[in-house]
Chain A
Amino acid sequence: MAGATSSPIDAVAGGGAAAAQRIVHRRHWGAWAFGVLVLALFAALVKAAIDSRIVDLGIVGKYLFSTQIVTGAWNSLALGTVALGVAVVIGLVTALMRVSGNPILVAFSAAYVYLFRGTPMLIQLIFWFNAFPTMFRALHVELFGVVLMHVPMTQLITPYGAALLGLSLAEGAYMSEIIRGGILAVDTGQRDAARAIGMTGPTLMRRIVIPQASRIIVPATGNQYIMLLKSTSLASAIGYLELLRITTDIYASNFRVVELLTVAAFWYLVMTAFATAIQTGLEKRFPHR
Chain B
Amino acid sequence: MIASDAPAIRALGVTKKRGAQTVLSNVSVDIPRGQVVALLGPSGAGKSTLLRCINHLDTIDGGKIFVEGILVGYREDGDRLHELADVASSRQRRRIGMVFQSFNLFRHLTALDNVLCGPLHVLGLPRAEAAALARKLLAQVGLAEKEASFPNQLSGGQQQRVAIARSLAMAPSVMLLDEPTSALDPELAQEVIATIRQLADQGLTLVIATHEMAIARGFADRVLFMVQGEVVEDAPSAEFFAAPRHDRAKAFLARHK
> Within the assembled complex, what's the spacing in Å between the Cα atoms of A211 and B166?
19
Residues of A contacting B102 in the complex (Cβ-Cβ under 8 angstroms)? 189
> Within the assembled complex, what's the spacing in Å between the Cα atoms of A208 and B106?
7
> Within the assembled complex, what's the spacing in Å between the Cα atoms of A286 and B55?
32
Determine which of A189, A198, A200, A286 lies in contact with B104 in the assembled complex, contact meaning CB atoms within 8 Å.
Answer: A189
Within 8 A of B (CB), among A158-198: 189-190, 192-198
Cβ A198 vs Cβ B90 within 8 A = yes
Interface assignment of B108: CB less than 8 Å from any CB of chain A = yes
Residues of B contacting A211 in the complex (Cβ-Cβ under 8 angstroms)? 108
Determine which of A189, A190, A195, A215 lies in contact with B90 in the assembled complex, contact meaning CB atoms within 8 Å.
Answer: A195
Closest residue of A by beta carbon distance from B169: A197
Residues of B contacting A247 in the complex (Cβ-Cβ under 8 angstroms)? none
Closest residue of B by beta carbon distance from A200: B90
Interface assignment of B37: CB less than 8 Å from any CB of chain A = no
Determine which of B104, B118, B169 lies in contact with A190 in the assembled complex, contact meaning CB atoms within 8 Å.
Answer: B104
Cβ B122 vs Cβ A192 within 8 A = no
Interface assignment of A35: CB less than 8 Å from any CB of chain B = no
> Within the assembled complex, what's the spacing in Å between the Cα atoms of A215 and B87?
28
Cβ B86 vs Cβ A201 within 8 A = yes
Closest residue of B by beta carbon distance from A199: B122
- Contact-residue bracket for chain A: 20 to 34
Cβ A289 vs Cβ B94 within 8 A = no
Residues of A contacting B98 in the complex (Cβ-Cβ under 8 angstroms)? 192-193, 196
Determine which of A195, A208, A212, A289 lies in contact with B93 in the assembled complex, contact meaning CB atoms within 8 Å.
Answer: A195
Cβ A193 vs Cβ B104 within 8 A = yes
Residues of A contacting B100 in the complex (Cβ-Cβ under 8 angstroms)? 189, 192-193, 196
Residues of B contacting A215 in the complex (Cβ-Cβ under 8 angstroms)? 108
Max chain A Cβ within 10 angstroms of own Cβ: one of B104, B108, B151: B108
Cβ A190 vs Cβ B97 within 8 A = no
Cβ B107 vs Cβ A207 within 8 A = no
Interface assignment of B17: CB less than 8 Å from any CB of chain A = no
> Within the assembled complex, what's the spacing in Å between the Cα atoms of A198 and B90?
4
Cβ B105 vs Cβ A198 within 8 A = no
Residues of B contacting A192 in the complex (Cβ-Cβ under 8 angstroms)? 57, 98, 100, 104
Closest residue of B by beta carbon distance from A207: B121
Interface assignment of A203: CB less than 8 Å from any CB of chain B = yes
Residues of B contacting A207 in the complex (Cβ-Cβ under 8 angstroms)? 117, 121
Residues of B contacting A193 in the complex (Cβ-Cβ under 8 angstroms)? 98, 100, 104-106, 163, 166
Closest residue of A by beta carbon distance from B101: A189
Cβ A190 vs Cβ B166 within 8 A = no
Closest residue of A by beta carbon distance from B115: A197
Residues of B contacting A201 in the complex (Cβ-Cβ under 8 angstroms)? 86
Within 8 A of A (CB), among B61-111: 86-87, 90-94, 96-98, 100, 102, 104-108
Residues of A contacting B219 in the complex (Cβ-Cβ under 8 angstroms)? none
Pick 28 A–B contacts, CB within 8 A, sort by A. A189-B100, A190-B104, A190-B106, A193-B104, A193-B105, A193-B163, A195-B93, A196-B57, A196-B98, A196-B100, A197-B93, A197-B94, A197-B117, A197-B118, A197-B169, A198-B90, A198-B91, A198-B92, A198-B122, A200-B86, A200-B87, A200-B90, A203-B121, A211-B108, A212-B107, A289-B108, A289-B150, A289-B151
Rank and list the top 5 A-B pairs by shortest CB-CB distance, nearest first: A198-B94, A193-B104, A196-B98, A197-B118, A189-B104
Given contact pairs A189-B100, A207-B117, enumerate 18 new A-B contacts (beta carbons under 8 Å): A190-B104, A190-B106, A192-B57, A192-B104, A193-B98, A193-B106, A195-B57, A195-B90, A196-B98, A197-B93, A197-B117, A197-B122, A198-B90, A198-B91, A198-B92, A199-B118, A207-B121, A289-B150
